[in-house]
Amino acid sequence: MVVVGAQWGAEGKGRVTDLIAGAARATVRYQGGPNTGHTVVTDAGEFRLHLVPAGLLRGREAIIGNGCVLDPVALAHEVQSLEERGIDIGPLVISRDAHVILPHHRLYDRILDERRGADGVGTTRQGIGPAYADKALRLGVRVDDLLKPDLADRVEAAVAPKRELLGSTLDDEAYSIPTVVERYRRAGEQLARHVDDAGPRVRASLNQGLVVFEGAQGTFLDLDHGTYPWVTSSNPYAGGAASGSGAPPVAIAEVWGVMKPYVTRVGGGPFPTELHDRDGALLQERGREWGTTTGRRRRCGWLDLVALRQAVEINGIERLVVNKLDVLSGFENIRTAVAYRARTGQRLARFRYRRDEFAGLECEWEDLPGWDEDIGAARHVDDLPRAARSLITRITEATGVPVAAVGVGPHRDEIVWLEDPEALRARLAL
Ligand code: IMP
């Protein structure tokens, strides 16, 4: 099963993985790196995971797949802090083929994005794009290289082509090759017990039971299928789960899309339903919409059914999970975009991304009534106000996909299951 973000990211995928993970053999991250922040709230408090798959909190095998990029120093730190909080880190597996983010990748990421000026991607500055670029250029350093005698040569080979662009900043101690090699080798030693051939482990787990592939970011941040160039440098959409983990595509049985009943986006790029008014500020404030990794304010807008239908189509989403429904309590009207209108006046009912026309799109709205009640205590569909249920019905009507669960608060238990748990168990052979 793949859990993907059905919008631009930050929809609560970690929470959904966490919910399913209890019944799964393994959870697998297949793309992205520490640009992501998956928050899971348990009785032991809040966990902000950057690279570690959420299933580790449930004691499940947690695999960081070959399609990920990682900073070994930051990962060693994340693993250590989880261990200090009492989490058993034994089931963590790191693919030896995953690529390593080097310190100069972060510098390069920042310089490139600053040079783009107002049109910048607004990256998380974690060095994600440059690390994937080096992977594609066949200059990348892999986890497997960390403890090899030629690590310094590999780091030098990756840095060399960028010396001119990065200039004298590279003279800084933090970028000196011996320093980097020393720090990375030490982190490599700390992580060594987890490093393995992850592909065979993923395939073995698939033969034994349910495996949850945990997408990071979201469908429209996909390098190929998103709003390029305002995207991340990997493939978060469900198709990435196979190449990023070594799973045979046919073994991936079900795709779940995670969304909010409104839209948020961090960084630059087009956003047809974005709000610049009081409603946008309210969504931002009530939803506490700040990026988990960067602390940046998330841009907020109304639910975009055009984009959502596209996410369903391209990922093959079979179930939706709507998080943060409680954030909409108190809005008199809830707007949903049902079509776009191009500058030429043409009505677009289907999502069609063109860089030059997308920024100027207007939305055709359909309004639904809001509700006032606080829904945080709801645990059953009958506990939800009628208007909240109508919104869920509207989402299903617009997409043709059932909503399996609705999040009404941040704690892992603050959820209303709409799909009968028994039927779910039977379908997923749990
Ligand atoms: P990068 O992934 O750091 O290269 O950033 C590329 C774009 O993806 C920027 O607009 C980021 O704000 C966005 N982005 C990256 N990771 C996440 C995430 O986990 N959630 C939401 N947006 C993200």
Tokens read off for 37: 């922040």
pLDDT of residue 430: 63
- In this prediction the pTM is 0.95
pLDDT of residue 421: 73
pLDDT of residue 420: 82
Tokens read off for 286: 């009530």
Give the distance (Å) from ligand 1 centre to CA of residue 106. 14
Using the atom order of ligand 1, give the atom closest to the CA of residue 32: 2
How many beta carbons lie within 10 A of that of residue 396, not counting itself?
13
Using the atom order of ligand 1, give the atom closest to the CA of residue 296: 12
CB-based burial of residue 130 (10 Å sphere; 0-12 exposed, 13-18 middle, 19+ buried)? buried
What is the DSSP annotation of 59-76?
Answer: T-EEEE-TTBEE-HHHHH
The protein residue with its alpha carbon nearest to ligand 1, atom 19, reads 36
pLDDT of residue 141: 98
How many beta carbons lie within 10 A of that of residue 121, not counting itself?
20
pLDDT of residue 417: 94
Distance (Å, whole) CA 68 – CA 17: 17
Using the atom order of ligand 1, give the atom closest to the CA of residue 37: 19
The protein residue with its alpha carbon nearest to ligand 1, atom 10, reads 267
Give the distance (Å) from ligand 1 centre to CA of residue 123. 6
> Which of 125, 232, 298 to mutate for ligand 1's pocket (most ligand atoms within 8 Å of CB)?
232
Distance (Å, whole) CA 298 – CA 25: 34
Distance (Å, whole) CA 151 – CA 77: 21
The protein residue with its alpha carbon nearest to ligand 1, atom 23, reads 217
Residues flanking ligand 1, CB < 6 Å: 9-10, 35-36, 121-124, 126, 128-129, 216-217, 221, 230, 232-233, 266-267
Using the atom order of ligand 1, give the atom closest to the CA of residue 294: 12
- Let me know how long the chain is: 430
> Which of 35, 36, 228, 265 to mutate for ligand 1's pocket (most ligand atoms within 8 Å of CB)?
35
Number of H helices, E strands in the chain: 14, 19
pLDDT of residue 419: 87
pLDDT of residue 37: 80
How many beta carbons lie within 10 A of that of residue 116, not counting itself?
13
Is residue 57 classed as helix, strand or coil in its secondary structure? helix
pLDDT of residue 262: 98
Using the atom order of ligand 1, give the atom closest to the CA of residue 233: 4
State which H helix or E strand residue 427 sits in. helix 421-427
pLDDT tens string for the chain (430 positions)?
999 999 998 788 877 888 888 889 999 999 999 998 888 888 888 898 999 998 999 999 999 999 999 999 999 999 999 999 999 999 999 999 999 999 999 999 999 999 999 889 999 999 999 999 999 999 999 999 999 999 999 999 999 999 988 999 999 999 999 999 999 999 999 999 999 999 999 999 999 999 999 999 999 999 999 999 999 999 999 999 999 999 999 999 899 999 999 999 999 999 999 999 999 999 999 999 987 777 889 999 999 999 999 999 999 999 999 999 999 999 999 999 999 999 999 999 999 999 988 888 999 999 999 999 999 999 999 999 999 999 999 999 999 999 999 999 988 889 999 988 778 777 776 6
Peptide bond into 229 cis (omega under 30): yes
Q: How many CA atoms lie within 13 A of 264 on its CB side?
A: 29
- Give, to the nearest 10 degrees, the angle between helix 128-136 and helix 103-115: 110
